[in-house]
């Protein structure tokens, strides 16, 4: 997939993320949008059986895919997304927050009705529901607790985050263990996307609460 196709796909991901943020009355920053797309990709790969994307890499503020920011910029240029605020962070970088515009809502409605986006919309909705309960301000800490990132982060910047690799420490490996343990404890079906997402976020929340290091405020 070339860079143009990647940005086009990320345009859909960003609009869906902004739609979920609007439900929680949140105007997410560029970093929060990166993290939402990352969590949705992780769960889409290991729960929704969607094709893996070798897009996210380790970077200064956690998982990063340049196509996500390129998609945000493209949407803002076309008026589907609005810049809600701009400020300078304590580190000297520019912080930006975004909100979905009226034309963006119409575009989102079409995406939600498109069968090709049905699975991604479902997973993003589950992620949005979890963040609504835990708080969007927690999203960076939750991503820093994600097993794939925890295992890959020590290798430095620019390392590919292979969440779907079940043969090493990753989200896929963690969820396989979780399903196996749950299956030995209960005869009920534990394979639904909603159940797995709920347990996955419970783990991220617990890990972040107990082991998460103090981090600079989201910019």
Domain limits of the chain?
3-211
- Per-residue confidence (pLDDT) for residue 51, from 0 to 100: 59
Ramachandran assignment for 146, one of left (phi > 0), alpha (psi -120 to 50 degrees), beta (any other)? beta
Per-residue model confidence as pLDDT tens for the chain (219 residues): 455 557 778 999 999 999 999 999 999 999 999 999 999 999 988 776 655 566 788 888 789 999 999 999 999 999 999 999 898 888 787 889 999 999 999 999 999 999 988 889 999 999 999 999 999 999 999 999 999 898 888 888 888 887 777 567 678 788 887 777 766 545 555 568 888 899 899 999 999 999 875 444 443
Closest CA to 145 of 49, 62, 52: 62
Q: Can you give the pTM of this predicted structure?
A: 0.87
Beta partners for residue 88, in sequence order: 94
- Burial zone of 73 (CB within 10 Å; 0-12 exposed, 13-18 middle, 19+ buried): middle
- Per-residue confidence (pLDDT) for residue 166, from 0 to 100: 58
Q: Give the start-end residues of each E strand in 57-215.
A: 57-59, 62-64, 81-88, 94-100
Closest CA to 30 of 3, 44, 6, 10: 10
Ramachandran assignment for 42, one of left (phi > 0), alpha (psi -120 to 50 degrees), beta (any other)? alpha
- Per-residue confidence (pLDDT) for residue 116, from 0 to 100: 85
- Per-residue confidence (pLDDT) for residue 207, from 0 to 100: 93
């Amino acid at each position: 997939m070339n860079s143009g196709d990647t940005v086009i796909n990320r345009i859909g991901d960003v609009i869906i993320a902004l739609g979920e943020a609007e439900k929680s009355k949140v105007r997410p920053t560029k970093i929060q949008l990166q993290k939402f797309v990352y969590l949705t990709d992780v769960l889409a790969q290991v729960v929704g059986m969607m094709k893996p994307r070798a897009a996210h890499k380790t970077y200064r503020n956690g998982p990063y895919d340049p196509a996500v920011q390129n998609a945000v910029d493209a949407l803002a240029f076309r008026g589907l997304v609005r810049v809600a605020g701009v400020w300078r962070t304590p580190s000297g970088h520019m912080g930006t927050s975004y909100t979905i515009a009226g034309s963006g809502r119409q575009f989102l409605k079409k995406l939600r009705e498109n069968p090709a986006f049905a699975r991604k919309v479902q997973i993003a909705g589950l992620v949005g529901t979890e963040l609504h309960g835990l708080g969007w301000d927690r999203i960076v800490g939750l991503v820093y607790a994600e097993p794939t990132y925890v295992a890959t982060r020590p290798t430095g910047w620019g390392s590919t985050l292979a969440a779907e690799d079940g043969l090493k420490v990753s989200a896929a490996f963690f969820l396989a263990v979780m399903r196996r343990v749950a299956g030995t404890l209960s005869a009920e079906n534990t394979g639904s996307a909603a159940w797995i997402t709920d347990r996955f976020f419970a783990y991220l929340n617990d890990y972040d609460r107990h082991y998460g290091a103090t981090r600079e405020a989201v910019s």
